[in-house]
């Protein structure tokens, strides 16, 4: 019970605790009480205590909030990154038809989700938020490579995903006829290009799950909706890419962050009805 209550110690009490422990560290040993034997404790003891105190203060100060909307593949990226790092956070579901004052205040430029709020400071745009998470909590499950060139390549392919997959997928479910056929063709070509970059590697960065995987795998939860609306099979066109997505789903960070594809399909059907796409 004592250790649990320590996390709620106010700053004044923490200062008193700090002073008390500091005094205890300097109590002379009664057996070695001569002036020549009364020495300060070894430096590593002070450093160890100081480091522990700093860590305690940091953990007490952390506050992480995610403003999100459940079917958003962009929000899923941030959820996966936080899960990979083991970061506890407060999830706030947004009603995009009636955006909250908090969302409007935290993202006044685009007024969109997701928004990561860390200790009161907002970080907008999903790929930027994922990189921020990787930099702040860098001691666990690194997402970006340490090599500068490999890091640049990872950013390139994540940017490619941003520029292609969402917009083409949207055209598949929101259009008909020749426009839909053109969107399907370009969508499959884009996936094949990504499949070629993946090659025979388990993940895009090699053996370890990383930045490009986080950027792309959320769209797997939308594949069923694209296939159903477009009348085609992504697995038939890109079997290695689908196998990669299923491999990613074996990770708890992914499986718990992606919604049921059928639920996403139901959401897309509602959008089609809303926009008069039959």
**Residue spans per domain, the chain:** 2-61, 64-136, 148-274
> Given this model, what pLDDT does residue 85 score?
98
Counting every residue written for the chain, the total comes to: 278
> Given this model, what pLDDT does residue 62 score?
86
Residues of the chain below pLDDT 70? 1-61
Q: Check if the beta carbon of residue 248 is closer than 8 Å to that of residue 242.
A: no
Sign of the CA dihedral with 71 first, then 77, 79, and 83 last: positive
Distance between CA atoms of residues 71 and 266, nearest Å: 11
In this structure, CATH architecture of domain 64-136: 3-Layer(aba) Sandwich (3.40)
> Given this model, what pLDDT does residue 61 score?
59
Pick the CATH number of 148-274 from 1.10.10.10, 1.20.1050.10, 3.40.50.10320, 1.10.510.10: 1.20.1050.10
* Residue 95 CB contacts under 8 Å (≥ 6 apart), including other chains: none
* Residue 162 CB contacts under 8 Å (≥ 6 apart), including other chains: 127, 215
> Rounded to two decimals, what is the model's pTM?
0.79
> Given this model, what pLDDT does residue 36 score?
44
64-136 and 148-274 agree in CATH topology? no
């Amino acid at each position: 019970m004592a250790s649990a209550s320590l996390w709620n110690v106010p700053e004044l009490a923490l200062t008193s605790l700090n002073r008390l422990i500091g005094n205890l560290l300097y109590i002379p040993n009664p057996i070695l009480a001569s002036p020549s034997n009364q020495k300060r404790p070894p430096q590593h003891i002070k450093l160890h205590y100081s480091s522990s105190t700093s860590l305690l203060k940091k953990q007490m100060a952390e506050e992480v909030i995610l403003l999100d909307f459940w079917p958003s593949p962009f929000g899923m990226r941030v959820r996966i990154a936080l899960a990979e790092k083991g970061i506890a956070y407060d999830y706030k579901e947004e009603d995009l038809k009636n955006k909250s004052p908090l969302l409007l205040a935290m993202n006044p430029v685009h007024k969109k989700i997701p928004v990561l709020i860390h200790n009161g400071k907002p970080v907008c745009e999903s790929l930027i938020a994922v990189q921020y998470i990787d930099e702040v909590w860098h001691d666990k499950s690194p997402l970006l490579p340490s090599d500068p060139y490999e890091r640049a390549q990872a950013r390139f392919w994540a940017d490619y995903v941003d520029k292609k997959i969402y917009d083409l997928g949207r055209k598949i479910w929101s259009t008909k006829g020749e426009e839909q056929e053109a969107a399907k063709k370009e969508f499959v070509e884009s996936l094949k290009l990504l499949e070629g970059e993946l090659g025979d590697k388990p993940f895009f960065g090699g053996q370890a799950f990383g930045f490009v995987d986080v950027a792309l795998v959320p769209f797997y939860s939308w594949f069923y909706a694209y296939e159903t609306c477009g009348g085609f099979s992504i697995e038939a066109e890109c079997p290695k890419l689908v196998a990669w997505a299923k491999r990613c789903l074996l990770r708890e960070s992914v499986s718990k962050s992606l919604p049921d594809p059928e639920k996403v399909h139901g959401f897309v059907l509602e959008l089609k009805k809303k926009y008069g796409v039959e």
